[in-house]
Chain A
Amino acid sequence: MPRLLTGNRLETGDVLWWAGSDWSLHLKDAVAVDDDGEALLARLLPEERINDLTLIDVDATPDGWRPRSTRERVRAVGPSVRPDFALPSLPVEAI
């Protein structure tokens, strides 16, 4: 099962997704870390710039990554009750 690395930016709290060489605000930019996840975590944790670093399970779908848990889908999209705040990369319906 594919895994993604996610966290929240220290300065702003923004939800971030690991995009291979840097972080992105958009789930669509995420790159699966799979077996490298733990090593990446071990490298990034000491930098102390991203909070709540977590590896999450996702499914690969024709529309892109779909986090398995509702919690992570909400994190990726924004509050389902405020579609006006949804990121342009994902509609609220994606939750």
Chain B
Amino acid sequence: MYRYDEYDQAIVDARVAEFREQVERRLKNEISEEAFKPLRLMNGLYLQLHAYMLRVAIPYGTLDSRQLRMLAHIARRYDRGYGHFTTRQNIQYNWMKLEEMPDLLADLASVEMHAFQTSGNCIRNISSDQFAAAAADEIADPRPYAELLRQWSTLHPEFSFLPRKFKIAVTGSKIDRAAIKLHDIGLELVQNEAGEIGLKVLVGGGMGRTPMLAHVIREWLPVADYLSYMEAILRVYNRHGRRDNIYKARIKILVNDLGAAEFARQVEEEWALVKPLGLDPPPSELARIAAHFAPPVLDANAPVAIDLSNAEFANWVTVNTHPHKAPGYAIVTISLKAPGEIPGDASADQMDIIADLAQRYAGDEIRVTHAQNLVLPYVRRADLFDIWQVLKAAGLATANLDRASDIISCPGLDYCTLANARSIPIAQKLAVKLAPQEADLGELKIKVSGCINGCGHHHAGHIGILGVDRKGEENYQLLLGGSGAEDATLAKILGPGFDENGIVTAVEKVIDRYKTLRAGPAERFLDTYRRVGAEPFKEAVYG
């Protein structure tokens, strides 16, 4: 885990003091709401349908137990006893009071956390692979590179007022768990024949109103130079990105308009100017940061074989654990998707329990996934049964990772002022309906958004659902064939939309048709769809 140095802490403490004064002035009516609104948004504070909402940054989705306990404390002290883990590895609180914000932010700062760059047209919180440093398929831990990006982008004066928000994801594996092709910049650590580590650079991906997959603009970038290269990309975007039309302001539009080759040429040209300025840190600085991410001391004699005679436990191990790079260890994903519950929500008590487990069993680390689950990255297989028992008692042992009831959902119209339709009830109904057959269905990623902005990643869903407003009524479009993984594709709309009950029935019809079409039990829904196309599903749904 990275620990703040005196500069990091000073920046965060100064921001808390500054915002305290700004809030006081607003409450005394010394500044208008028009002037105050951008200031609160710079501190992650939105006004939603029912109350203020605070989005807290969780850099690259990594927490330690003291930080998770603080998130639990905030849920109890300032909210209504729960928080909502988001599709960008952050957490949101839905019932905030402006007058309490300064004290809350001071509490956060006491554990090296903050809420800035979770809103506005700046470089947002950097996201990454939730299995970083633990996955057997990993080339290198991406988080030191993400952390340096965090430091570089924090309150970066040149990039605080970009044409539009800017999202960066970094991964260290060919298995893409960070959806790098759907980010403004995606970075993938790669290794050459000499064994050196470099970065593949992708630009111009994104979901929302105009979904696009990112283009590779550099197959190999030496890690020693990547910061200045990032600066060059941002400068080209900041200069040419469209500020005249909010719907055309993301970098994906610029890359598409220019063409990826021309965009890359302009970045190289800019880089030639930026690189000599000395922005890239010396190798010793990157090594200093990387040292913070050293894995915990692992048990070299941890047994691989464990007792799987309890069938329910054995199923959870099969579904919710991943191979670890260390023998005798596993990566545990804790599902926050018990069928019928709200995807991504965790109570304060649940957060405390998971913090305790992380401290006792998992190297004191917790990861947040963009699929709204939590991860314990360093678990001895011999401890899995004890952990499972604790999780089961807390309602956290649902064995459904990447299955039909492990549904991504944005808050939708139940909370969000931008939403056109409710998304959580759709996810709840589908999860309850599909859970009984999900073991048979295998990997099936369903993603629900309550508006075109796509926080529920519907364009990356094997089955995606988009809520829209149709003459004042909630209406839901059905999309098929998306993926946010290394085989990324964008889902396509199947046909006319449905009401709340109709969309659930439509998804059931799609799944029933899949069961008749698939080549065998190992063929995923996505593979079947890619093999047979949309027509059989269209026929099943619309007749």
A residues near B, CB below 8 A? Answer: 8, 10-15, 48-49, 51-52, 68-71, 74-75, 78-82, 85
Contact = CB atoms under 8 A, between A and B. Distances in A.
B220 interface: no
B413 A14 contact: no
B26 interface: yes
B472 A70 contact: yes
B411 to A, nearest CB: 8
B414 A79 contact: yes
Contacts of B105: none
A61 to B, nearest CB: 16
B428 interface: yes
Point out which of A12, A52, A81 has the most chain B C-beta atoms below 10 A from its C-beta: A81
B492 interface: no
A36 B6 CA distance: 57
Contacts of A12: 51-52, 97-99
Given A71-B413, A81-B342, A13 B428 contact: no
B96 interface: yes
A49 B419 CA distance: 25
Contacts of A69: 472
A81 B424 contact: yes
11 contacts: A10-B33, A11-B27, A13-B47, A13-B97, A14-B51, A48-B33, A69-B472, A70-B474, A81-B342, A81-B422, A81-B424
Contact of A74 (B49, B51, B96, B472): B49
Nearest to A78: B50
B99 A13 contact: no
Interface size range of chain B in the complex: 20 to 34
B80 interface: yes
B24 to A, nearest CB: 12
A25 B122 CA distance: 36
B415 interface: yes
A15 B49 contact: yes
Contacts of A78: 50
Contacts of B299: none
A32 B5 CA distance: 57
Contacts of A80: 414, 422, 425
Interface string B22-58: 0000110100110000000000000111111000000
B35 to A, nearest CB: 10
Interface in B347-381: none
B473 interface: yes
Q: Which 8 A-B pairs have CB atoms at the shortest separation, nearest pair first?
A: A13-B51, A79-B414, A13-B52, A12-B97, A81-B424, A11-B99, A75-B49, A81-B414
Contacts of B414: 74, 79-82
Nearest to B427: A81
Q: Residue among B48, B50, B51, B99 with the most chain A CB within 10 A? A: B50
Contacts of B48: 13
Contacts of B473: 70
Contacts of A79: 50, 94, 414-415, 424
Given A11-B98, A13-B52, 20 more contacts: A10-B27, A10-B33, A11-B97, A15-B50, A48-B29, A48-B32, A52-B47, A70-B473, A71-B49, A71-B413, A71-B419, A74-B413, A75-B50, A78-B50, A79-B50, A79-B94, A81-B342, A81-B422, A81-B424, A81-B425
Interface string B78-101: 001000000000000010111100
B121 to A, nearest CB: 21
A81 B428 contact: yes
A10 to B, nearest CB: 7
Contacts of B342: 81-82
Nearest to B53: A13
A8 B47 contact: yes
Contacts of B52: 12-13
B36 to A, nearest CB: 9
A70 B51 CA distance: 17
Interface in B377-395: none
Interface in B8-24: none
Contacts of B98: 10-13
B49 A85 contact: no
A82 to B, nearest CB: 8
B494 to A, nearest CB: 24
Contacts of A70: 413, 421-422, 472-474
Nearest to B409: A81
A5 to B, nearest CB: 16
Interface string B319-338: 00000000000000000000
Contacts of A10: 26-27, 33, 98
A21 B97 CA distance: 24
Contacts of A49: 29
Contact of B50 (A11, A13, A68, A81): A13
